[in-house]
Structure 1
Amino acid sequence: MSAFEQAADQAYNQLTQMETEAGFDDNDKRFFASYLLGHLSLVAAEGGDDLEALDREVNASLDKAFSVDRLSDQDKLGIRSLWQAINADIGRGL
């Protein structure tokens, strides 16, 4: 398994865990996690070389979606912040 695939798997597992743990108590966190899961799944299917490629491709996917999605600035910020936190965690091997 490549570093890209390992990082994508780690990110996916963290996001699904967050989505599950948030339950109905934190709708924003659940929404942010599920939104990112969709983008991560698409990016992971395309493949790549390493963690930097994963980060670059997820951010590019978000940029493209944010240009057409009618999300609030607060939602966009929350999604970006969550991705940055997940990316930092998988970069540290968590």
Structure 2
Amino acid sequence: MSESVNSDEAKQRFDEFVDSTQMYLDGVVVDGSDQELFIASYLTGHFSLVTSNALALDDYSLKAIDTYMQTSLEKAYANNEVEGQDQTQVSALWNTLFAKATP
């Protein structure tokens, strides 16, 4: 029974994190500068892919989401999808959003 409760709690934290992160990213479209919009839009693509993969795997661990996201971004950076300051800003935004989800 406790495993089910833990699983339910993990799923709830996962859902709350996904919802709040998506709300923030969507808000940038309304209120952000052109650069902020670019960074948020770029991160949204990775975030959508990572969260859909986590859902497909029934993996609701926030730590796993962070690991998947870091791996996804590292691959993108290695392929020069974004460079320099844009990389720094994408990573900083992800780290800020993720930090809000973890105590």
Q: State the TM-score, normalizing by the size of structure 1.
A: 0.83
2:74 is matched with: 63
Q: Relative contact order (alpha carbons < 8 A, sep ≥ 6): 1 or 2 greater?
A: 1
1:15–1:33: 8 Å Cα contact kept in structure 2? yes
- Greater fraction helix: 2
Seq. identity, %:
28
Q: Does 1:30 align with 2:37?
A: yes
Q: CA deviation at 1:21?
A: 1.2
By how many angstroms is 1:84 displaced? 0.7
Aligned-residue CA RMSD (Å): 1.6
> SS state of the match for residue 46, structure 2?
helix
Structure 1 moving runs of 4+ over 3 Å:
none
Shift of 1:91: 2.3
Match of 2:31 among 21, 24, 42: 21
Counterpart secondary structure, 2:39 = helix
Q: Return the alpha-carbon distance in structure 2 between the equivalents of residues 86 and 19 of structure 1.
A: 16
CA contact (8 A) 1:15 1:37 kept: yes
Quick check: which has more Rg, 1 or 2?
Answer: 2
Which runs of no fewer than 5 residues in structure 1 stay unpaired? none
Superposition map of 1:64-83 within 5 A? 64-83=75-94
Unaligned 5+ runs, structure 2: 1-7
Distance 1:86 1:43, change over 3 A: same
Q: What is the aligned partner in structure 1 of residue 17 from structure 2?
A: 7
Contact 1:18 1:29 in 2 (8 A): yes
